[in-house]
Structure 1
């Protein structure tokens, strides 16, 4: 008998099955995109039944949402938290941070491409998660902006900090979207250098 607070064998097996389904779904989404991936293919890859799939998820959009939250949104939010350790960041420190952000997008480009495809098909459920993650990003970033400007000797109103955070988010998010999802060919280094200088201005001046 499992001790209190210790997962039972049944619960462990359930979590193992869920992990297999998530891993299989990510592989399928990255290979075929959202529209061409079915619940049947996911279960076949995971070695599970269709009934088991629907015990864990309401549909393939639920699987995708969990994968994206785990693989992309969570690392991005953790990266935002690291801004708090920079003091008043130099352009070089900001540039290194942007490299880390870009690396997350590069690592998750396949699943994020499926996410964009799904957004046009599934609508509200996925938009709700995207909106929630964006708000978390902006809340965290605005707090860091306020802290950095405070250390530089400036006081900013909460709405000003949030506006600056929004501008920073738009710049780096759109850049990585067009680079990794749309696959546009441009000078990435020069683009990130420019964003770093713009962020430095946002974080150092009124």
Structure 2
């Protein structure tokens, strides 16, 4: 369905790709799909069960509320439960929540969508990152993404991710022997974020991996 909406919104279906995160469903920090347009990452989609709605501010279940606190760090996120759709930029609602006429589970062919839905998808797919204008904005954006990375590292450690556990051990052996998992996750996230900022500032390409930078 999303490919058809993308087509109606003026995007060739062949240029829009949804990348599923099904192998990482245990990670509450990961949305269901990453979306690329012309091979560039432009946003994410989070799908909820029909009836939950598409306004995460109104979620009542602890899992959904906890996930929203993390996902609202993302700059371009589309929420849907099949009956309603919304787009969020850095935790702020873009436009309004769009609701279908009918129910995705019971209406069948009589299900109708307002024209506003095409505009919502077009807005989502045409999103472009904008550079921070001040040092304060840069710090705020970096802090949001750093927190998201920190939370994901913590979740992976709780799932006994062998690679991260080995890295945490090296971190303690070489730098901070008393560091807890939480302190490691925080320090690791800050180091990665700062490293990416420095690479950007010095025009160092990371396209081929950090080993070739």
**TM-score using structure 1 length:** 0.32
The structure showing larger relative contact order (alpha-carbon pairs under 8 Å, at least 6 residues apart) is: 1
Structure with more of its chain in strand, by fraction: 2
Higher relative helix content = 1
With normalisation by structure 2, the TM-score equals 0.32
